[in-house]
Structure 1
Amino acid sequence: MSPLIEITDPRVLDPETILIDVRAGANAHERYLQGHLPNAIFATLDDDLAAHPEDAAIGGRHPLPSLADFAATLTRWGITPNKHIVVYDDKSAAMGGARLWWMLRSIGHINVQVLNGGLKAATDEGLELSTDDYQPKPAATPYPIPAEYSGTVDIEEVKKAASDENRVVIDVREGQRYQGITEPLDLVAGHIPGAVNLFYSNSMSPEGKYLTSQALASLYKDTIGNTKPEDVVVHCGSGVTACHTLLGMEHAGITGPKLYVGSWSEWSRRDLPIATNTK
């Protein structure tokens, strides 16, 4: 199944499809109520797709929720393992949409896609939005608690990968953050020594959709070269926008790169080496 689905695909609004609208920020619910796809479930990045960290130095600013909590959330949303899920956000999947896609794929829920272009794709198509506060019916049978989130690496593995010439660590933050010129979210500016920079938005068209699979393959190959996909680690500030790049890689046929969930928000708080240039 393609990780992306177009707004013109009839499966998006099929009553059997579970639609999930992921928002981030303090006014997330207000924005949802201003307009969302009909029967789309409201989800928040901070409350549904992340745990609340006691210390960002352990797991970063957006650590994954416990497997039991995530399974309970899926149950509350009426999701069972065989359901087709379409997720989107209002940031062209750069925030919550891709994160939820990755989380579901990570626990083995394969039947999930991201709406290419997000909410903007729906408005561009002229689709009438809903302002209802849609409440899903919980699943009759609890979603099975998964064994693990697969496809992740911890900080110790990143240390090894960043210094291994046969592996590639990709930092998808914007260039000025990577170079250490500015840091609006975390305590220290810079990047993991040995990591290369590929800004996540380079994978997007001016219309806010992903580039073609062929264009994405070329973009990512320029960065990873002949490195095996399973030897690639992707990170960002807190493990969210990195999922946007992982989705793009999947669309390009590059399957197997790992997510460093803690990302820069963890690394920069651990008194570890920091680079502040592109070398």
Structure 2
Amino acid sequence: MNASVLVTPEALRDSLAGERPPLVLDCRVFRGDEKPGDRRYLPQSLSLDLERDLSADPGEGGRHPLPSQSDFTATLQALGVTPERPVVVYDDSGGQLAAARAWWMIACWAGHPDAHLLDGGLAGWQMIGGELVKVPVEPANQSRWTPSFNDDVLVSVEVLLEQGGQLVDARAATRFRGDEEPLDSIAGHIPGAMCRPCTQNLETSGRFKSPGQLADELPKGEALTAYCGSGVTACHNILSYAVAGLPLPRLYAGSWSEWIRDPARPIATGDA
């Protein structure tokens, strides 16, 4: 994979006006008192929700465990996703919440051959004067696509403990060190992990850094595994490896919120 996993706002605008428009999925996470009516959407976009569509119920598997294959297949079919039609996902944080998670689930796990993330997200679209609408569209046609899921792109906590490998943590450095933990009950990181905050994948404009710069910056190692707090921003790091044209890390979907559920699992603090 390389930079083609991204689509520029200009290219998306052109393709939406073309004969073969992509299926556009709005993956924004609602914050605070925000309500659906407060938002504006890209034209022709459908809603794909982190809690409802991209996660199972929180519990032993962490705060955002993956849905079952059958549940996610039903979600994709209800949206009308087919391998023949390109898919573009976007959010309002450069892909960090939760468009990169959607891209990973659709492209890497479900195996869709033509899935992309909008580089720059909603802000990038607005910067080129892209049209916004008041409500997302409803799915027009249900598909019959049955994905061939690839579980080799995943690693469970049991396999992680058995096989090891180099972990890459996508959380902020303050959470990695254990200085603060705003979401989970215990602070720190998995011993041996390297800290690569997903915010470092983006330019100040909100667009991804160049493939060459990412290739220079991203952590290297054997058997790379990406994780974060709950398996969401870790996907942003995986996407960055794809942009850079590097082999993709596996995803530890349960991430820190699953790891700390067993008090016997080791915890590290500080920079190492």
TM-score strictly above 0.5? yes
Match of 1:134 among 103, 128, 137: 137
Match of 1:275 among 246, 261, 268: 268
Match of 1:90 among 89, 92, 98: 92
Deviation at 1:137, TM superposition (A): 1.2
Does residue 146 (structure 1) correspond to residue 144 (structure 2)? The answer is: no
Taking only the aligned residue pairs, the percentage that are identical comes to 35
Does residue 215 (structure 1) correspond to residue 213 (structure 2)? The answer is: yes
Deviation at 1:27, TM superposition (A): 6.4
Match of 2:116 among 110, 113, 119: 113
Q: How does 1:1-279 map to 2 (within 5 A)?
A: 2-9=4-11, 10-12=14-16, 14=18, 16-25=21-30, 30-31=35-36, 34-53=39-58, 55=59, 58-105=60-107, 106-139=109-142, 141-162=143-164, 167-220=165-218, 223-224=219-220, 227-228=221-222, 231-271=223-263, 272-279=265-272
The alignment's TM-score, normalised by the length of structure 1, stands at: 0.89
Q: In 2, Cα distance between the equivalents of 1:113 and 1:48?
A: 18
Mark the CA change 1:183 to 1:29 in structure 2 (over 3 Å): closer, same or farther.
Answer: closer
Q: How many residues align?
A: 265
Matched residue SS, 1:87: strand
Letter in 2 for 1:278: D
Superposition CA RMSD, Å: 1.9
Deviation at 1:147, TM superposition (A): 4.1
Q: In 1, Cα distance between the equivalents of 2:92 and 2:23?
A: 17
Q: Is the 8 A contact 1:33 1:133 kept in 2?
A: no
Deviation at 1:146, TM superposition (A): 3.4
Letter in 1 for 2:160: V
Matched residue SS, 2:35: helix
Q: In 1, Cα distance between the equivalents of 2:123 and 2:26?
A: 12
Q: Is the 8 A contact 1:3 1:251 kept in 2?
A: yes
Q: Is the 8 A contact 2:64 2:230 kept in 1?
A: yes
Deviation at 1:28, TM superposition (A): 9.2
* Structure 1 unaligned spans of 5+: none
Q: Is the 8 A contact 1:67 1:148 kept in 2?
A: no
Mark the CA change 1:243 to 1:160 in structure 2 (over 3 Å): closer, same or farther.
Answer: same
Q: Is the 8 A contact 1:20 1:42 kept in 2?
A: yes
Q: In 2, Cα distance between the equivalents of 1:255 and 1:133?
A: 35
Deviation at 1:31, TM superposition (A): 4.9
Q: Is the 8 A contact 1:107 1:150 kept in 2?
A: no
Mark the CA change 1:96 to 1:32 in structure 2 (over 3 Å): closer, same or farther.
Answer: farther
The alignment's TM-score, normalised by the length of structure 2, stands at: 0.91
Q: Is the 8 A contact 2:226 2:250 kept in 1?
A: yes
Q: In 2, Cα distance between the equivalents of 1:32 and 1:122?
A: 20
* Structure 2 unaligned spans of 5+: none
Letter in 1 for 2:130: L
Q: In 2, Cα distance between the equivalents of 1:63 and 1:13?
A: 37
Letter in 2 for 1:75: Q
Q: Is the 8 A contact 2:111 2:150 kept in 1?
A: no
1:179-211 deviation per Cα after TM superposition (whole angstroms, max 9, x unaligned): 011000001000001111111111110000100
Q: In 1, Cα distance between the equivalents of 2:16 and 2:157?
A: 38
Deviation at 1:160, TM superposition (A): 4.0
Q: Is the 8 A contact 1:29 1:42 kept in 2?
A: no
Q: Is the 8 A contact 1:23 1:29 kept in 2?
A: no
Q: In 2, Cα distance between the equivalents of 1:178 and 1:13?
A: 44
Moved over 6 A (4+): none
Matched residue SS, 1:269: coil
Deviation at 1:118, TM superposition (A): 0.5
Q: Is the 8 A contact 1:107 1:149 kept in 2?
A: no
Mark the CA change 1:176 to 1:72 in structure 2 (over 3 Å): closer, same or farther.
Answer: same
Letter in 2 for 1:46: E
